[in-house]
């Protein structure tokens, strides 16, 4: 997907209507909080090391077998039980990012973690980040629904105006995931961070409130039972549905 030109930006603004700079409805100013988000296939539970530690330890060990899961993260667990628990306690004690554990509806397996960060309630903006999934959950209905639930909470429940996705410009899997989830590429911030002694150029993506209804419909279409065969295989890819939006 190409970077946005000034003409692209003008086109986006035109879709918002003639009064896009004069807000008739201001953001709610409400923080996403630590409310459990429940779907048909996954539960996003506010991170609790005591309740989720053992399940997340299994997921961490599993995910560490895939090097790309962690090389772009600012922090990573050591993999041993004590190290994982200390890391989870640090994450759970953070107000921002606000971390969630991904669990099966039965609560018998964890598939990774997600968070809200760069939360600015008065502007109605928030980022989804610090995301990692165990290998078997990647690209699955569970992780896809998890991202959908986070966006529904931000846009539909709290009235946010913008949800962001940012990642290392070298992180090809994360960039592909952003496009699959319907985020629009906005550009790259050069020399943005230094992470573990390495330069990070940051790729920025977003979905705005004006774009959200079309993205929401794509997710809902993909999540329908009729989109999956008896073996659980998808008939239409989410990327096919979201690619048509932009």
Phi, psi of 112 (to 5 degrees): 140, -160
Percent pLDDT > 90 in the chain is 74
Tell me which architecture the domain covering 29-243 has in CATH. Answer: 3-Layer(aba) Sandwich (3.40)
Instruction: Answer with the residue of higher pLDDT: 17 or 235.
Output: 235
Instruction: Answer with the residue of higher pLDDT: 76 or 168.
Output: 168
Sequence spans of domains, the chain? 29-243
Q: What is the pLDDT of residues 157-206, one digit of tens each?
A: 999 999 999 999 999 999 999 999 999 999 999 999 998 888 999 999 99
Say which residues have a Cβ less than 8 Å from residue 59's Cβ, sequence separation at least 6: 110, 111, 112, 134
Global model pTM greater than 0.95: no
Phi, psi of 92 (to 5 degrees): -65, -25
Which pLDDT band holds residue 74 (cuts at 50, 70, 90)?
Answer: confident
* Side-chain half-sphere CA neighbours of 215 within 13 A: 26
Do the beta carbons of residue 163 and residue 204 sit within 8 Å? no
* Pure H helices in the chain: 6-15, 49-63, 81-92, 141-152, 172-180, 212-223, 238-243
Give the pLDDT score at 11.
52
Give the pLDDT score at 17.
45
Percent pLDDT > 70 in the chain is 90
Which pLDDT band holds residue 6 (cuts at 50, 70, 90)?
Answer: low
Which pLDDT band holds residue 19 (cuts at 50, 70, 90)?
Answer: very low
Average pLDDT of the chain is 90
Q: With a cut of 80, say whether residue 132 has pLDDT above it.
A: yes
Give the pLDDT score at 64.
84
Query: What's the CA gap between 124 and 111, in Å, rounded?
Result: 29
Which pLDDT band holds residue 26 (cuts at 50, 70, 90)?
Answer: confident
Give the pLDDT score at 117.
96
Give the pLDDT score at 246.
80
Give the pLDDT score at 173.
92
């Amino acid at each position: 997907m190409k970077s946005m030109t000034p003409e692209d930006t003008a086109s986006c603004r035109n879709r918002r209507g003639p009064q896009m700079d004069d807000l008739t409805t201001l953001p709610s100013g409400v923080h996403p909080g630590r409310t459990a988000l429940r779907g048909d296939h996954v539960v996003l539970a506010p991170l609790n090391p005591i309740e989720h530690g053992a399940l997340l330890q299994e997921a961490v060990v599993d995910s560490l077998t895939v090097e790309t899961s962690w090389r772009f993260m600012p922090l990573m667990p050591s993999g041993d039980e004590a190290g994982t628990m200390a890391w989870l306690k640090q994450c759970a004690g953070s107000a921002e990012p606000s971390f969630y554990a991904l669990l099966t509806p039965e609560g018998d397996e964890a598939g990774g973690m997600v968070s809200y960060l760069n939360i600015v309630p008065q502007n109605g903006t928030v980022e989804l980040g610090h995301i990692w999934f165990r290998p078997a959950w990647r690209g699955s209905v569970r992780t896809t629904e998890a991202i959908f639930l986070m966006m529904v909470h931000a846009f539909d429940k709290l009235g946010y105006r913008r949800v962001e996705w940012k990642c290392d410009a070298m992180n090809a899997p994360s960039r592909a995931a952003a496009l699959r989830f319907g985020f629009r590429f906005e550009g790259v911030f050069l020399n943005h961070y230094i992470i573990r002694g390495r330069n990070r150029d940051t790729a920025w993506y977003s979905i705005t409130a004006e774009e959200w209804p079309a993205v929401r419909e794509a997710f809902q279409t993909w999540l329908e039972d009729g989109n999956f065969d008896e073996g659980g295989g998808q008939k239409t890819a989410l990327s096919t549905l979201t690619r048509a939006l932009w």
